[in-house]
Amino acid sequence: MKQKFVAFRYLISTLIISVALGLVCFAQQAAPKAISGEVATKAAADPIATLVADWTRARDYTKEYLDAMPEDGMNFKPTPDIRSFAEQMLHLATANFAFVSTATGKANPYQGKQLEKMDEYKTKGALTKIVMESYDFAINAAKTVDPKKADEPVKFFNFDLTRGGAWSKGFEHQTHHRGQTTIYLRLKGVKPPQEKLF
């Protein structure tokens, strides 16, 4: 009888713990859904404002990276066979111009230019100026987007995209290359800027 009582207590304790953990898990899952649902509703209500806000946040975050790297780090390469810090940022800028031009049909002001190879942009001041110009190009273009054209097909080099897809790929690309430069800053003894998710 005593063993049955102990087993019963064990069973009850296990059930109580399971219910408590289940409630905690439910609460943790419910909160992000409410937040993401709210964000999704706002994005659906005003996709242009969301697009502008995201690219503005990305611009400000990238500027913090540019500000953080000292002048003598512009041509720094963690290994000889990869891009320098300046080349990473120039690659990012080139792609910003290209993706946004594809997404909107607006003329790319640097069409045909290989910014990564141009030494005139490899000082801190010149690099910052052209990278910020690429973000301003994106932000100003985003303000004029017609959401009804998001599904229109476009070509990006040999890739078939939609106008909306070009915006998405462009945003993903700049995030990727800015992120790569985190290690450049670390290797130069610089603490990278705090992430800007919102």
Report whether pLDDT(122) > 60. yes
Summary mean pLDDT of the chain: 84
Tell me, letter by letter, the H, E, C secondary structure of 79-110: CCCCCCHHHHHHHHHHHHHHHHHHHHCCCCCC
102-117 mean pLDDT: 96
Structure tokens at 16: 């109580």
DSSP 104-171: H-PPPTTTT--GGG-GGG-SHHHHHHHHHHHHHHHHHHHTT--GGGTT-EEEETTEEEEHHHHHHHHH
Instruction: Output the pLDDT for position 1.
Output: 52
- Give the global pTM: 0.77
Instruction: Output the pLDDT for position 95.
Output: 97
Instruction: Output the pLDDT for position 15.
Output: 34
CA distances from 161 to 143, 152, 155, 165, 170 (A): 21, 8, 6, 6, 11
Q: Are 175 and 117 in contact (CB under 8 A)?
A: no
For the stretch 6-52, pLDDT in tens is 444 443 343 333 333 333 333 444 444 444 455 444 555 789 999 99
DSSP structure class, residue 46: -
For the stretch 150-167, pLDDT in tens is 999 999 988 999 999 999
